[in-house]
Structure 1
């Protein structure tokens, strides 16, 4: 999460694929529950306002006013939206709510990393991690409660999928972090361009491309220049290889792409990343070769977790270089972050550095990701909601890994 070289300009919003505001329908609400405005795209927000009684000729103006209150100022109370008439604010309060995930626990690592355990609708829990760095900060957000992929080196993969997050629950993670960091602008205060959350990575719990529509809509909200305003070049979506959705990601989101690769043969990848049995390395690479052109991205990041004696040989490094030939790429080498019951061990630093050197000499950037937040189980591959943590024994996980 901490090694991405993401350009700092918001001008990237004007290049690449045109991100259209698609009117997808929000989930049906239980009787008596007010619709949550957080996570609605502009088109959805406008449609909801009209349905609630806003005259169509005023709807676009009202949408813009409410959007700024929600996403520029971070306001949570309709009564504070002072450029709206009092009777209209009362209508909004009657019809809608402004709801974010609830912080259950907040842990701060020795290195400054913050991990939030958040409660969402239905009492479910997800984890979100903020990683501070000099001059910037990265927020790692979740897209599902649990995960379907059962990657055997990943702690989250030992938790079964409960449900997809809504667009509002995805956007809400960023808003909760901005609350905690005190990052919302203050009226009449001098303008401050410092961004504590300058980058967002979809690398938390879940496979984002198995929740495509909600992720897409959430990213449209996050990328909007009149609100949260994160450029698409400051957003990285990580997938384990849901091949049919890769082109859609380029065309409908246009963010940077990272791929959980982790192996150089189908035999090993089948074991580490079981989705490989459905879309193997050849199918995945074929889809990835088109991504930079479709999304106007500079390069794809290949994530490669270093597992002792499993995928870390010199032969693996040379095979990796050959496989990705012709793809503009960077290879993030991730020292395995161990967790209770994990069936693997981290490669030695000498081995990791030797692996990195082979890749570097072949012409690819090969940064070794510095583990962050390990002391609070916030590092890559360690996220798992506390209510589900530790339910599988080491033997059970090893059996699933085929060890």
Structure 2
């Protein structure tokens, strides 16, 4: 694809038709080509997740979904309902860069809805899908549930809306900080519900109940640990950016433990997930355990994918909203808008055990992870900045200290 040839700072759009849209990303300081196709696929998944996070850059009115701010362009390109086809590529260049791009078959229009929001609680149907393109069918199963399916690659005609929006009201219920990214230039997945531990927990009835042994397989447990340790390793080695683009990376860590899986914590997490919560549990009910919770929209997302999405969502908080250079957990940090408190729990150096649970509920797939020793303690440090592994007793591997025996 010419867009990424030679990994330019700005995409080469010479051969891209004007009616197509493009998302583009650059990663600098990549010393060597990635070792496998899977490594490139994993990197592409991270880039796409960062584009999705541009949803935090603008207050998109959920009642009208009118595209009125180009700052969220990468996200708008992904969710635009008239886009029927996509082509992507990622490559490494000798300039020690990775370039990634996706070209979309259509381009969202400023001042127009990104999709038909429909009535509250309504799901897609054959009629609603045909409003977008003739012959489209609603998909009612698997991880594509709720999307309109078609074999066409481009909309032959533009749909006509039956009503005109005369006023646009932007949401002011909360102020969102600028979405930040680890890419230099950029020109999938619905929004997950974010919650804070200070909110009152509410519950709903689970729509599907499975035995824990059917949900938390060993493969899922292994993935939980591998993702936690991989993330913590990159942080300990000073490879994670601290907040918005242009900020320096977080410092290297002296005391970052390697984590292990804990079945007792899994049992606790599963019990809470089974209650179909919509917010974190009260700290008084788990004084020695930390907790992260995520609601994945839909009830058919594969369990492994739900876990991966939740962990990625928690960790990438740091790319949108940084922490102080001392890496100290403070009351101010916890209470600022869109505080990265799920990241800080995952990154808490002295936490070395984790266990998770999942449940299908009426409001989505609930993912809960419990941590010990718990993090997010006022005046304590997320980790100690300094010489990597400087406080480790025994061997150090990939920036991580050995897991304590007990």
Q: Same fold, TM exceeding 0.5?
A: no
Q: Which has the higher helix share?
A: 1
TM-score for the superposition, normalised by structure 2: 0.25
